[in-house]
Every structure is written in C-alpha cells, then in structure tokens.
Amino acid sequence: MKIITGTAHPQLAQDIAKTLGMPLCETKVATFPDGESFVQIEESIRGEDVYIIQPTCPPTNHNLMELLVMVDAVRRASADRITAVLPFYGYARQDRKDKPRVPITSKLVANLLTAAGVNRVLTMDLHAAQIQGFFEIPVDHLHSAPLLIKHLQDNYVDDLSNLVVVSPDIGGVKNAKICANYLGTDLAIVAKQRISATEVDAHAVIGNVKGKDVLLIDDMTESGGTLCAAAEILKEHGAARIFAGVSHGVLNDKARARLKDSCIERLLTSDSVPMAHGEMVDTVSIAPLLAKAIMNIHNNDSVSHLFEMDI
C-alpha cells in the first residue's frame, strides 16, 4: 500500500500516514510558472494499492487538475489499484440543473476521475448523497458528524436532554434529522431567504428552541452567512447556548469575522480542508477515520460500520 498526497492538504495526508504507521510515498508535485501541474512518483509503485489524498477545495480548479495529473502518473507507473481520497468533493453543489442551460459539474468531475483511471473513491459528507450515483465505480461515503458530536459532548454539552438539533435552512433538514435521530433529540428548522451569494435573511423558526442548547448542523460553510443569520434568529426565539457543527469549514476571512461577532459560541468542524481554523473554531481530526477506512479497503474488509450516520 502507498499513500500519496498533493499540495491541497499535506498535513491531513501526513496525519493519515502517521496513523497507519507508514511514510508518505516520495512524490514530486510542482507547478510550472504558466500554472501547469507536474507530478513525478519518485519510488516504484508497480503492483501497489495506491491512495491519493487530495481534497478539491479552493483553489478548486488547480487542486482538481493536480489530482487528475497524479492519477495519470500513478496509472502509468503500473499501480494495481488507485483510490482517490477526497475528504472534500469540490463542485458538489452543482449536482442538478436548477436553471436552463447550466452544467451538472459534479457529474463531470465524476467522469473526469473515472476517465483518468481512478478505481475507487473515498469521500466524506457529500453535499448531496446521490452524487455517489454519478460514478460507475465504488464510492465509500463517510460522515464526520459522530466525531463533531462527541467533541461537543466531551467539551461543552454533556446533557443532551436540553439539546435541539437545528437545520439552518430547508435544504439541510434531512442531515439534521439524521443527527437528531442519532442523538435522540428534537429537531427545529430555520426558514431563510438568500439575498446574495454572501448575504442571507433568516425570518422564521419552526420548532421550540426557547431555553434550549442548540446545535446548528450544515454540510459546509464558506462566508458564514447562513449560520450567523440562523443563530441570530434562534437567539431572538430564546435559545440558550448556540453551537454550529459543519463537516467542511471552507472558511474565508469574512466568515471568521462574522463568527467572532455572532452569538455562536463555537463552530465545530473537521479538518477536511486546510482553511478550517479560526478564533471561534474547534477543528476535529478525521485522520483516524480515514485511516481506518483506507486500511479496511486495502484488506478487503467491510467499511459499512463506518457509515453509522446512515440511519
């Protein structure tokens, strides 16, 4: 087995390799002055089971192209099997035609990965679970929510009887409902209207949050607009402590400033992307979970018990 990393998130790859007790494969990954990606595998991988760790987070196009180049290099070096480990799947929100004459880019990405030579995909918390069906190869879809929830219980909220799981918009109700069932808590929903790509108006709460500790659940946040708007109206409806749990903290400077000024006590997120950090952010490592999944795949063991949020 060989573990290879691109430049998207080398720290996560190092943590995974350390958990597995093995070094990263010697690889040269560079960018030419004109922006082209170059990859050279600097040790033999003939007949090996290769895992390429590369979240396609911002800069999305560069990281995606770098991944495709790595896959091609590995395939031409006669690897036996290639698994693309995508802790964050870029373009996942472009999963359907919601307007005339627009692409379904998440399907295009699936086609590109398969055409490049990927035999299997290991990913986490897809924006829409049906993206798995865009592939003609096996896809293992993990969830970070149990790790985030455990961190919340260990550090902030040990009494779940006063906790309510909240979806910050209608689109996230299914994921929030799964988490509420997992915890055995009530569910509430915030109704919102998007004003622009970075501005959101939250105007109603469905469910009782008065005097309750709240856990806002979402798959990702970039600008923090949805979470902060939802937290504000939840506070107006009497919520006590407000926490947010997001799978992918693709945070920019505006998001960090918003979180600092919001009534969200802590944002809990995974380290699926390197920008998941900040003054108000708790980052929970997914390296042990990914390492366990990689080892099970390599040994042809079941990974179904790692999908424990699929209830």
Catalytic residues, by residue number, are 192
- Partners of 249 in the β-ladder: 221
For residue 156, count CB atoms less than 10 angstroms from its CB and return exposed for 0-12, middle for 13-18, buried for 19 or more.
middle
Token pair recorded at residue 194: 């998007």
Question: In the 8-state DSSP scheme, what is residue 102?
Answer: -
CA atoms of 45 and 292, how far apart (whole Å): 22
- Partners of 188 in the β-ladder: 166
Q: Which helix (H) or strand (E) holds 107?
A: helix 105-116
Q: What is the separation of C-alpha 231 from the centre of its chain, rounded to a whole number of angstroms?
A: 22
CA atoms of 231 and 221, how far apart (whole Å): 14
Q: How many CB atoms lie within 10 A of CB 100?
A: 5
Contacts of 252 (CB under 8 A, 6+ apart): 222, 223, 275
Q: How many CB atoms lie within 10 A of CB 134?
A: 19
Q: β-strands 186-194, 200-206: how paired?
A: antiparallel
